[in-house]
Structure 1
């Protein structure tokens, strides 16, 4: 009987602490995926975006995007934004034949995110989109503030909105540029 009481007391203590453990877990990884269908051949679209230093040529918010080693893994891209602010990104994977590359942003900088990784890829459209190109830009990240009560400008919603805005504006401009005759 004494063992049952001890077990019951232990279970009650654990149940009482469970809500505290849920509050202490911190931020969760957020993800954003955006895509656009472009009326142009995949090779032509890839040619516009394949160079790690070409972001300035197609993203409307980027003033400069030099890369230290071109498309080589480990190359560092230093982004200067037209509205002010900077970001530093490092290429982690590059697949010219597969028309995609992945990169990681250094924490800090102009975006309200941390531990940000991203992949941009170009594929041929299928079905009704045959002859067209689909560009997908996806990223995963944590909000800019690691604590349990982040300020509004560094919370999950702000992080998702910022990355969504970056992707949507970039892809819309890429579509406009690639479809110009």
Structure 2
């Protein structure tokens, strides 16, 4: 009977032991010494990322800044990512997009959704938030080190922080 109960417990717990990766949350922000409207004028264009993000060489976009637009971002270090615009709200200074086609050489992430917002900062200027959810590059239960949760988190965090610093530098003229 004990063996039967043990086998039953194993069968119940097996699905929990075999699940894939959990989403990784990323949340970065920066204060920029400019009004939200001025920051949006620089950062609010879906095809304008290369104008202020120091890691991006170029951007090719289809359509304008409307939901459904697509873009390819080319990294200076090499690699291309394809993204699709899900939401743009110029009145609220908000953009949301997702990865359309993973490229593990460009970013060790299998999928992501990101949101970019600008709001008045409590002490003046703008609070720019860039946040999202992503999955590591290898979604198996035993990913290699270069495609695990830590590698995905580090790469995306670096990408967001570099972008926020580049935006600050561009807007503030420093």
TM-score where L is the length of structure 1 = 0.89
Alignment match, 1:146: 139
Match of 2:10 among 3, 11, 16: 16
Flag the structure with higher strand content: 2
Alignment match, 2:88: 94
**Could you say what the CA RMSD is over the residues aligned between the two structures, in angstroms?**
1.6
Q: Is 1:65 matched with 2:35?
A: no
- Please tell me whether the aligned partners of residues 78 and 88 of structure 1 are also in contact (alpha carbons under 8 angstroms): yes
Gaps of 5+ in 2: none
Flag the structure with higher helix content: 1
Q: Which string of whole-angstrom CA distances, capped at 9 and with x for unpartnered residues, describes residues 153-176 of structure 1?
A: 100000000100000000011111
TM-score where L is the length of structure 2 = 0.92
The structural deviation recorded for 1:18 is 5.0
Alignment match, 2:111: 115
Q: Give the number of the structure whose alpha-carbon radius of gyration is greater.
A: 1
Q: Distance between the aligned counterparts of 2:14 and 2:111, measured in 1?
A: 26
Match of 1:33 among 22, 27, 37: 27
Q: Between Structure 1 and Structure 2, how many residues are aligned? A: 172
- Please tell me whether the aligned partners of residues 102 and 111 of structure 2 are also in contact (alpha carbons under 8 angstroms): no
- Please tell me whether the aligned partners of residues 91 and 102 of structure 1 are also in contact (alpha carbons under 8 angstroms): yes
- Please tell me whether the aligned partners of residues 23 and 148 of structure 1 are also in contact (alpha carbons under 8 angstroms): no
Alignment match, 2:165: 172
